[in-house]
Amino acid sequence: MVVAVRQVVLYLSLWTACVLSKPTEKKDRIHHEPQLSDKVHDDAQNFDYDHDAFLGADEAKTFDQLTPEESKERLGKIVSKIDEDKDGFVTPEELKDWIKFAQKRWIYEDVERQWKGHDLNEDGLISWEEYKNATYGYILDDPDPDDGFNYKQMMVRDERRFKMADKDSDLIATKEEFTAFLHPEEYEYMKDIVVQETMEDIDKNGDGFIDLEEYIGDMYSHDGDAEEPEWVKTEREQFVEFRDKNRDGKMDKEETKDWILPSDYDHAEAEARHLVYESDQNKDGKLSKEEIVDKYDLFVGSQATDFGEALVRHDEF
């Protein structure tokens, strides 16, 4: 029951934020790939950008407190994890996958938290029935909740997304399928459901398209304002010039997909190639553990002196 309450509170918080947001605040539905670091990428100055990219900004800070020896030791353990096929080498593709993981570690931490609350029989799987009972069970016992919120409609939407994430259609989610259910924007095969849910949110007249006023209405409410802010005018121009590609006055599914799921520059791939180029001593296009550890200062930070017992140690790796 506690899980159910927490889950519904989360939904209501998100819903309330959308409904009660200030009229001049812009709602951003575009799913951008996050920047790897807010540091300047200039290896002539330092490797701070590369450290953030390779480890994630929070984890990179922990390495700055280690001696070079400890930093190398922990890096070596990370390399073993990056080498997915265990052939003793790290390819650019494996490095790219690791960077994406490091940048989105919060997603996997979120999945772990929710997994514990939904895998009720602790069999390492989550069925739709388990998820439904943990999330909606006690609420659905009341056919007419006091707050008037349509939980049944929310549950139908969740079930549809769960089935989309469930690749083998057995209504039982593995950890990977559950991750796709919770974070569909991260998975190519889930992108259609992201588009569908977005269109349902915005398409107020139910014609299957998003027209200009629906597009603007999703971001901005006049709420008695005499004049629209400049950014609203800019968004109107964006809709006409770029969103509505076929100039028919509305966005269809493909145009909506291009809007909310743009084909961004792959920063992780570019960084992986950069790290390989800088570290590949024998120029065979892949990295051994020795090549990476030899170039440890490019991948991770460290302190030049030993802080002994004062060091903050982390054992995740």
Instruction: Write the pLDDT tens digit of every residue in 8-61.
Output: 444 443 443 343 333 445 677 898 887 899 999 999 999 999 999 999 999 999
User: Which token pair is 63?
Assistant: 């390495």
Decide if 247 contacts 259 (C-beta within 8 A).
no
Give the span between the Cα atoms of 238 and 160, in whole angstroms: 32
Lowest mean pLDDT among 7-16, 105-114, 287-296, 300-309: 7-16
Name the amino acid, one letter, at 291: E
Decide if 49 contacts 37 (C-beta within 8 A).
yes
Tokens 């302190």 found at: 303
Which residues contact residue 104 at a Cβ distance below 8 angstroms, ignoring those fewer than 6 apart? 34, 186
| Per-residue confidence band for 146, with pLDDT thresholds at 50, 70 and 90 | low
Lowest mean pLDDT among 22-26, 159-163, 233-237, 302-306: 22-26
Instruction: Write the pLDDT tens digit of every residue in 217-263.
Output: 999 887 766 688 899 999 999 999 999 999 999 999 999 999 999 98
Lowest mean pLDDT among 153-162, 237-246, 258-267, 278-287: 258-267
Number of Cβ atoms within 10 Å of the Cβ of 136: 19
Give the span between the Cα atoms of 298 and 41, in whole angstroms: 12
pLDDT(5) > 60: no
pLDDT of 263: 85
Instruction: Write the pLDDT tens digit of every residue in 51-96.
Output: 999 999 999 999 999 999 999 999 999 999 999 999 999 999 999 9
Lowest mean pLDDT among 102-106, 146-150, 175-179, 299-303: 146-150
pLDDT of 12: 42
